[in-house]
Amino acid sequence: NRRFVLAQRPQGMPTNQDIRLEEAPVPQPAAGELLLRTLYLSLDPYMRGRMDDVESYTPPLAIGDVLGAGTVCRVEKSEHADYKAGDLVLAYTGWQDFALSNGEGLQKLDPNMQHPSYALGLLGMPGFTGYMGLTDIGNPQAGETVVVAAASGAVGSVVGQVAKLRGAKVVGIAGGADKCRYVTETLKFDACIDHKAPDFAEQLKKACDKGIDVYFENVGGAVFDAVLPLLNTKARVPVCGVISQYNGANSAFEQDRLPLLMGTILKKRLRVQGFIISQDYNDHYPEFFKQMSQWLAEGKIQFREDIVDGLENSVEAFQGLLSGKNFGKVIVKVAE
């Protein structure tokens, strides 16, 4: 059983020294347990926060812990009355080939599901995040302007497409020409601006000629600096993530912009609200799942995955996710 453990706490970008690959015997299920084999492993930005020894909405990893992650698994052996070998389940077994479970927290998946990995993306945590943050906090109205960064990614792509379905004008922000082309041509956003362009702020202003009514925050940093002066009175800002800060200090920390931020919140009467999907919206999952499955079947939603082959490549894939090298939802394919 190959598994990745936290060997030491990263300083900045996590490395192979921080996240170490170990070998251990494959565990055997006792009565009431099942042995799960990982087929797909989800890599998500929140995992970076769990590596730091700081208080958050969940306790941090301890040194030596297997890294946590949502997974799609096949039941290999079952000593549990509700499961049989071959069942497909959504689990939280982490960065490893095999794990034991007592059935708690498992969700059975339809064995005929066309895209089992979508349970980790469009129809799972990231899709749910984009949907709830946008509809509940952003609440865009037809004709309003919605802006979302990391627009080609797991959360951002859902935010923009749902906003379009609601009749809003949607401007994406993404890193590089290929991602921007995908966002306008495939996801059908009205515009997409490359945040690496030297005149990014200028281009964003032009694209948002009536200002911004909803800014769905995924990245923070320099992107937020360009967005702040464009926010309209009574704009809503669902704060979902600030990925540009996850590896610690960078150029965005050099200047204290807190007075500017607080002053703008007051004068523009902004509504800025953070949310954590796993803490705030569990009751809404069935409603989301039904709606998103329907849109998917009707061809109204596109979803791109960035599939990485082999558990051994997880650290590199995670580094890529934190530096914008991924193009779509990052999924590690661990076994057939």
Q: Which residues bind ligand NDP (CB under 6 A)?
A: 44-46, 126, 129, 150, 152-156, 174-175, 179, 195, 218-219, 221, 223, 240-241, 243-244, 275-277, 321-324, 326, 329
- Closest contact distance (angstroms) between CB of 56 and ligand NDP is 11
CA distance 294 to 309: 30
DSSP 97-148: SEEEE-STT-EE--TT-S-GGGGGTTTSHHHHHHHHIIIIII---TT-EEEE
CA distance 51 to 46: 9
Return the number of the residue (211 or 274) whose C-beta is nearest ligand NDP. 274
CA distance 333 to 221: 32
Return the number of the residue (34 or 91) whose C-beta is nearest ligand NDP. 91
181: number of CA atoms within 13 Å, CB side?
A: 3
Confirm if 189 and 160 have CB atoms less than 8 A apart. yes
Return the number of the residue (72 or 75) whose C-beta is nearest ligand NDP. 72
- Closest contact distance (angstroms) between CB of 314 and ligand NDP is 15
- Closest contact distance (angstroms) between CB of 145 and ligand NDP is 19
Return the number of the residue (135 or 326) whose C-beta is nearest ligand NDP. 326
Beta bridge partners of 34: 78, 101
Return the number of the residue (168 or 243) whose C-beta is nearest ligand NDP. 243
Return the number of the residue (116 or 241) whose C-beta is nearest ligand NDP. 241
Where are any strands of DSSP class E within the chain?
Answer: 2-6, 19-23, 34-42, 71-78, 88-91, 98-101, 107-108, 145-149, 169-174, 191-194, 212-216, 231-239, 271-274, 305-309, 329-333
- Closest contact distance (angstroms) between CB of 173 and ligand NDP is 7
Return the number of the residue (109 or 122) whose C-beta is nearest ligand NDP. 122
- Closest contact distance (angstroms) between CB of 126 and ligand NDP is 5
Return the number of the residue (101 or 157) whose C-beta is nearest ligand NDP. 157
- Closest contact distance (angstroms) between CB of 182 and ligand NDP is 10
3-state SS, residue 292: helix
Confirm if 23 and 56 have CB atoms less than 8 A apart. no
CB environment 175-193: b (16+ within 10 A), e (fewer) = beeebbebbbeebebbbbb
- Closest contact distance (angstroms) between CB of 317 and ligand NDP is 11
- Closest contact distance (angstroms) between CB of 276 and ligand NDP is 4
